[in-house]
Amino acid sequence: MIDFELEPELKELRERVTRFVQEVAIPAEPRDVSSHGTPDELRAELQEEAKRWGVFGPQLSEELGGLGLDHRGTAVILEECGYSLLGPQALNCAAPDEGNMHMLDLIASPEQRERYLVPLAAGETRSCFSMTEPAPGAGSDPSMLLTTARRTGSGWSISGRKWFITGAEGAAFTICMALAEDAGATMFLVDAENPGFRIERILDATDRAFPGGHAEVSFEDCEVGEDAVLGRVGEGFRYAQVRLAPARLTHCERWLGAARRAHDFALDYVSGREAFGRPLGELGMVQEKLARSLIDIETSRLLIWRCAWALDRGESGKHESSVAKAYVAEAVNRVVDNAVQVCGATGVSGEGPLARLIDETRPFRIYDGPTETHLWSIARRQLRARAARRPEPAAGS
């Protein structure tokens, strides 16, 4: 049974995060002016404040200095901190670090935990995840992976190109997916100062909320030791699934908070702006947009909590996270677009948060799998399940 009642401790934490966002994160937004992500010095300052407020690392275990919340509790807090684009950076629960921390916590060796996870969890370093490749390499279809890793006398040599690698500039390390010689997809931990790893360029992307932006990177005879293998050789795609469902879900949680910010701004605007002799909020077409936006927000939250419930029960959450991602990505964009539309010129100007939010939320329909890929996957699962339940035709029929 899913319990919709939040524990008193979680309610208090949510209220504290709300105050933190209003009093610390939102006032700092005018300083977030970099074209390639939140400046590291601003991020560090906000994280220190988050620690002082007792809201840092909601998804991290207490052992790692976090709050030790389960998936449902994390969903509540990440939605709240997502109300400001700086909230997830401040709480150290932003992509790609959040997904990498989750995977390292489950898979990394004791030595790898100490070297990579502990400083990442403390906010002392950043990381990136090198999976996506330029065409004809891996994108929505990971089986098209072209980056290779061949065995050497002392470990491995990685060669290939990756692109749209979020947070690469300034990251201390990357987790690289490559085809290991005679073994298949494998994850490797590669230090940023490795001479075989190079950032080729920073892409000019629509969004700019991620520190380090999005980069094209190359691995050219990038030599790493055996201790760089994350988990087991040949198990990379399986480990990617460990990262994928929770990471999809936290994307949904954070962007749902952003959608609420847009909706609240629109509510305030249409309550005070008059047209045709009355407040905009009294016009039927405006009311319809507001109503549909609230329905999208409420439905998105329920799908997120449904997936969180499955993950907390120890289920893979693959199907639930795909459904949530497909719906929430589209819903968030509808909510923000509705807010922009009813606010008119204010919506597309710097007179409020909406112009920035529409730039930031539009790529969410692509990140962690485009909506179309998820719809295709959801339909295939339905058809397979239906075929499995269909009785075999009787003999002679």
Summarize pLDDT for 318-343 with one digit per residue, the tens: 999 999 999 999 999 999 999 999 99
Summarize pLDDT for 282-299 with one digit per residue, the tens: 899 999 999 999 999 999
Q: Domain 8-94 has what CATH class?
A: mainly alpha
**CB 217 within 8 Å of CB 190:** no
- The number of beta carbons lying within 10 Å of the beta carbon of residue 150 is 14
Summarize pLDDT for 187-227 with one digit per residue, the tens: 999 999 999 999 999 999 999 999 999 999 999 999 999 99
CATH code 2.40.110.10 for 127-234: yes
- pTM of structure: 0.94
- CA-nearest of 126, 163, 102 to 38 is 126
- Give the DSSP H/E element, type plus range, for residue 177: strand 173-180
**Per-domain residue ranges of the chain:** 8-94, 127-234, 237-388
Average pLDDT, the chain: 95
- In the structure, what pLDDT confidence band is assigned to residue 1 with cuts at 50, 70 and 90? low
At 215 the pLDDT is: 97
Lowest mean pLDDT among 8-12, 36-40, 88-92, 258-262: 36-40
Lowest mean pLDDT among 103-117, 264-278, 322-336: 264-278
Q: 237-388, what's its fold?
A: Butyryl-CoA Dehydrogenase, subunit A; domain 3 (1.20.140)
At 226 the pLDDT is: 97
At 152 the pLDDT is: 96
At 274 the pLDDT is: 78
> In sequence order, what are the residues at sequence separation of 6 or more whose Cβ sits closer than 8 angstroms to the Cβ of residue 321?
244, 245, 246, 248, 249, 307
